Structure 1
């Protein structure tokens, strides 16, 4: 059975209290920019206004002349909602509370998994390669065509959605009388205990690790000269341009990601292994695993929505694209495995002190 290493209680953190003001400021800023873009007719970076991949974004289904003012209105309204959530905890009428929470969660989901698309996941996968290869002029890409205003806007939406989700969650906890830091309210839910999380977390981590390995296998096959799921002519073209090695790099990073995913349920995911000089034996900070894993889970889910909405994806589906069919499951499984890791290692809450008797 996996040994659980609980985190030590630390001094009180005010981060949960800052989420709503941060979300309000961020969404308000982008809402004003979107409003200016609506009035000037320039700056809306999605759909037909995005020549570098707007066709894989769900917002392409909404006409620009309607989407631009709607986007501005949603952002500004969400900013006001987040500002309202930053006020002292007063439990309002049930319908009003449900309406505010429902609107907040809806906007948060749209900003995190609808506005971003596959490009966010692609950049996260290629970024190490781009950074390492930039001094050597490889891969042969124009960075101005990669890091565009449209890409920046997608990451900005993702950040705003995550901030808003945190603000809504904190507000719901506060108005329900639960701890805003850990969500505990004095009742013990069986599936959230460390022992239970260890059980279902192992299943989730196994699924979340297997899917990227399936993706990596096709890229490794191409690097080995095997046209798995593609034509021999297309493989030859990729070999001539060097793209086959870019695919190999993505496969390598997918494999590394799968291994790190397994770390969510392994001992070395709680304490650094012996071969890590200077860190060996030290506790792995919980956020060091939770933050990047959550980001990847959200990015994978967003990418799958955009891809699945494309008729071209289904028309050209082959063995090479088959693993993408499992991306929604990958996103959910990785999110579940990450949450299980958090539940196992969160230990005693720094704010309310609950959880001190959790097994360790």
Structure 2
């Protein structure tokens, strides 16, 4: 845990190391090495990435050069504060967004949703025509996970460098100046973000439940028959819809009391404080992986007679952005004093009802 808390010190080196390794891979692919992760491949193993089917002779050299530049800038961002701050931040944030949000496809959200089942699939087989777990975790898909990890590393490196060079605490972002107005009222805009997140996933849930029940909502009859003839396909869609709905319920915890204190129905934890990271970490991951999935659906487009195949997925961009905003509001509301700069000793944002805050703590849960 101490190592994780020191992320501003090592995130630049981690981003630099990742860039160096992936840049070397790009150099290997540019001279004809095997395994180029975007090369044309059988349709069953293609990804939905923006670079899928790209020519290695054009893309791999760009990977090599970007990796080399990134390795240098990552080290400089950790060790040096220079006049090129704006350019280094621009490079870092652009690379973070490109790697984490633009290049990947729906694979990331699929792996997050299927994570509890992959171990089961290893013994029971994967529903449908897949031959095994290897048909889920193939190279073109796992490369996108590697790119996403690189994007996260560059985002943390850019954030730490941006805070440090602006005179803020690299860990919490605070300084001695008054906080912006929007940071003082996270409960208000956090509620709006939660409702937007929940509403944006409803079209996906409604269409998948309708298909399972035999109503071809937004799809032609031929597509419905294909799903009925594919073992486990309708059940998988229903399971993902239920998981999405449960996620919507949990999202409400970001603005309700049971997201801060365990409620009575969790009897073995009732009345105890919910660790903020227990909500912030998974919500942040889901928010981040929803956006590239939504962008992929937008790239694929949709027809009038089969709009329900991709159109609900386009709203995942809104879902991810709103969930990210709600998670940020939860973080601002619950963060306490910084362990490193000791700012924020007055505690998190004041509750809306000062009289309630003055009452002694109670085990009674709303």
TM-score range for the pair, normalised by the shorter chain length: 0.7 to 0.9
Residue 317 (structure 1) shift: 4.5
Superposition CA RMSD, Å: 2.4
| TM-score, with length taken from structure 2 | 0.86
Residue 63 (structure 1) shift: 3.2
User: What residue in structure 2 maps to residue 244 of structure 1?
Assistant: 234
User: What residue in structure 2 maps to residue 80 of structure 1?
Assistant: 72
User: What residue in structure 2 maps to residue 25 of structure 1?
Assistant: 17
Tell me, in whole angstroms, the C-alpha distance in 2 between the residues paired with 1:208 and 1:77: 37
Residue 131 (structure 1) shift: 3.3
Tell me, in whole angstroms, the C-alpha distance in 1 between the residues paired with 2:42 and 2:294: 19
Classify the secondary structure of the residue corresponding to 1:348. coil
Quick one: which of 326, 336, 352 aligns to 2:341? 352
Classify the secondary structure of the residue corresponding to 1:86. helix
Worse-matched range after superposition: 168-177 or 31-40: 31-40
Alignment of 1:123 with 2:111, yes or no, is yes
Residue 54 (structure 1) shift: 4.1
Gaps spanning 5+ residues in structure 1: where? Answer: 1-9
Q: Pick closer, same or farther for the CA change 1:32–1:279 going to 2, 3 Å.
A: farther
Tell me, in whole angstroms, the C-alpha distance in 2 between the residues paired with 1:122 and 1:11: 30
Worse-matched range after superposition: 204-213 or 39-48: 39-48
Residue 272 (structure 1) shift: 2.2
Tell me, in whole angstroms, the C-alpha distance in 2 between the residues paired with 1:55 and 1:132: 23
The CA deviation string for residues 71-110 of structure 1, in whole angstroms up to 9 with x for no partner, is 222122112211111115x3x22xx111111011111111
Q: Pick closer, same or farther for the CA change 1:118–1:71 going to 2, 3 Å.
A: same
Gaps spanning 5+ residues in structure 2: where? Answer: 352-366
Quick one: which of 19, 35, 45 aligns to 1:43? 35
Classify the secondary structure of the residue corresponding to 2:315. helix
Q: Pick closer, same or farther for the CA change 1:61–1:98 going to 2, 3 Å.
A: farther
Count residues in correspondence: 344
Quick one: which of 124, 135, 142 aligns to 2:123? 135
User: What residue in structure 1 maps to residue 166 of structure 2?
Assistant: 176
The CA deviation string for residues 300-352 of structure 1, in whole angstroms up to 9 with x for no partner, is 111122222235x3576524433223222112111111111111111111111
User: What residue in structure 1 maps to residue 362 of structure 2?
Assistant: none
Classify the secondary structure of the residue corresponding to 2:79. coil
Worse-matched range after superposition: 290-299 or 318-327: 318-327
Q: Pick closer, same or farther for the CA change 1:307–1:86 going to 2, 3 Å.
A: same
Residue 138 (structure 1) shift: 4.6
Residue 254 (structure 1) shift: 0.8
Tell me, in whole angstroms, the C-alpha distance in 2 between the residues paired with 1:233 and 1:52: 20
User: What residue in structure 2 maps to residue 190 of structure 1?
Assistant: 181
Q: Which has the higher contact order (CA 8 A, sep 6+)?
A: 1
Query: 1:206-217 maps to which residues of 2 (within 5 A)?
Result: 206-217=195-206
Alignment of 1:262 with 2:252, yes or no, is yes
User: What residue in structure 1 maps to residue 50 of structure 2?
Assistant: 58
Q: Pick closer, same or farther for the CA change 1:166–1:305 going to 2, 3 Å.
A: same
The question of whether the paired residues in 2 share the 8 Å contact of 1:74 and 1:107 is answered with no
The question of whether the paired residues in 1 share the 8 Å contact of 2:109 and 2:290 is answered with yes
Query: 1:309-324 maps to which residues of 2 (within 5 A)?
Result: 309-310=299-300, 313-314=302-303, 317-324=306-313
Classify the secondary structure of the residue corresponding to 1:209. helix
Tell me, in whole angstroms, the C-alpha distance in 2 between the residues paired with 1:81 and 1:50: 37
The question of whether the paired residues in 2 share the 8 Å contact of 1:50 and 1:150 is answered with no
Quick one: which of 275, 286, 293 aligns to 1:303? 293
Classify the secondary structure of the residue corresponding to 2:307. coil
Tell me, in whole angstroms, the C-alpha distance in 1 between the residues paired with 2:30 and 2:189: 47
